[in-house]
Amino acid sequence: MGLLDRVEAFFEGEPNVEKHSHSHAGYQCDDLHAEHAANRFQSFAAPSSGNIKWFVDGASYFWAVSEALQRAQESIYILDWWLSPELYLRRPPSRNEQYRLDAMLQAAAERGVQVNVIVYKEVEAALTLDSAHTKHALEKLHPNIKVFRHPDHVPTGYDLTSEIGNSFKGLTNFDLATVSKDALKAIYGAADDVVLYWAHHEKLLVIDHDLVFMGGLDLCFGRWDTNSHPIADAHPGNLDNIIFPGQDYNNARIFDFADVGNWDQNKLDRTKSSRMGWSDVALSMNGPIVSDLVAHFVDRWNYLYDAKYNDKDPGKYEKLRLGGSYRPSHQTYEQEGSGREEYGRQEGEGRSRGVLHRFAEHLSEEMGNLGLSEGHRRSQREGLQDGQREYRSDEYEHHDRSSHARGGSGATRIQLTRSCTKWSSGHPTEHSIANAYVSAITNARHFVYIENQVSKQVRP
């Protein structure tokens, strides 16, 4: 019996592999998921509330992240598909060394903050994320920084000594391209701790159980960008003016990331090839909704602790607990007032608007330093100011429209949805996000707008 036959037999004998696809055209699947039947979309989390600030593209988002990391007093939780320790959250790098991600996490750890990170453990033959580098580079900085990688990709989990495990390591992309469809289905599936096809694609940052960042932007190379998306960044006369250092200057259509542990070595020649821009949307939130995201992270961390790291590295890691003692004082934001309602207003209006204002001034100054025209600087600055005005208008509109449901705890009604199952979190399959999509599309009255990096046409 060959390797692929043995792998297929391994999966066929597993009783815990779910056969139900959980997706049906125009139908929210709820009859098989009674454990969350009481919540809308069968989510583990009930509808909640909070304050939201949207970000478009990475420059303003990463700036806000850098401010939040500076203020962290108790805990930092990070979920990422890819995390680059050498990512600069503010640019240009030559004038912002203290805002490199690893430096900021180290500084937080040194002042007593506990930093917990979960990153996707990639299939090395297919992806160049080098999550091992992420783990080792961060954990060596300070004992308060702890990193989990998941999932493992061989039948024996972290033990790579089995025959099948070693054979898996030898599979190349060409090997996989030549095998039958049935064999691929056997390989790219999931059975207990064996996962090859599915990935953790979450992007989440929680500061002090109080402030959340999430959305489409990993803390990694290739994501920092302005809304003008410059395609060139060559400064032979003064290398200190470089905005995209090392492999952060990227164009996957020409040459993708490679050997990212040596991040400053880039095989893409910036004097001959343009970079490829990156546009994505992310958000920050505070208020009651944060408790659901804390619960989600703690649940993920504790599941991985029990399933893998308690046995693999006994005594090195600990479980997390829900709850948090630290809450920013009103003086932090230099606002008057008291009470949870006032705090929600401060966070939404004062903190987010202040971040945008400071970022607009900084960006204009840096563009001037780099010799960019006043017209280009004014365009960027006005775009950010428009965003501030839109945010303030939207905030007050939400405040009026949702005040009956707010209860003094946030301007907007929010519900957390997700996709998870046994291999990813130890839970029965939950696809509340798919249910929410189905509901939104089938109940649309005027139009449907969808913006995705990738999509797949699925027949009913």
DSSP string covering 384-418, please?
Answer: HHHHHHHHHHHHHHHHHHHHHHHTTS-SEEE----
Contacts of 263 (CB under 8 A, 6+ apart): 84, 86, 221, 246, 247, 248
pLDDT of residue 454: 77
The count of other CB atoms within 10 Å of the CB of residue 350 is: 15
Whether the pLDDT of residue 234 is over 70: the answer is: yes
Alpha-carbon torsion (142, 143, 146, 149), positive or negative: positive
Whether the pLDDT of residue 304 is over 50: the answer is: yes
How far apart, in whole angstroms, are the C-alpha atoms of residue 362 and residue 91?
9
How far apart, in whole angstroms, are the C-alpha atoms of residue 33 and residue 295?
20
pLDDT of residue 170: 54
Place of tokens 């969350």: 36
Q: What is the pTM of this model?
A: 0.74
Kindly report, residue by residue over 12-70, the tens digit of the pLDDT. Answer: 554 444 445 555 545 556 565 666 778 999 999 999 999 999 999 999 999 999 999 99
The count of other CB atoms within 10 Å of the CB of residue 223 is: 24
How far apart, in whole angstroms, are the C-alpha atoms of residue 40 and residue 30?
10
Confidence label for 451 from pLDDT (cuts 50, 70 and 90): confident
Structural domains in the chain, sorted by start: 48-151+198-329 (3.30.870.10)
Greater pLDDT, 190 or 358: 358
How far apart, in whole angstroms, are the C-alpha atoms of residue 116 and residue 80?
11
Mean pLDDT of 412-418: 96
Kindly report, residue by residue over 136-184, the tens digit of the pLDDT. Answer: 999 999 999 999 999 987 644 443 333 444 454 555 544 544 545 455 4
C-beta of residue 233 within 8 angstroms of C-beta of residue 245: no
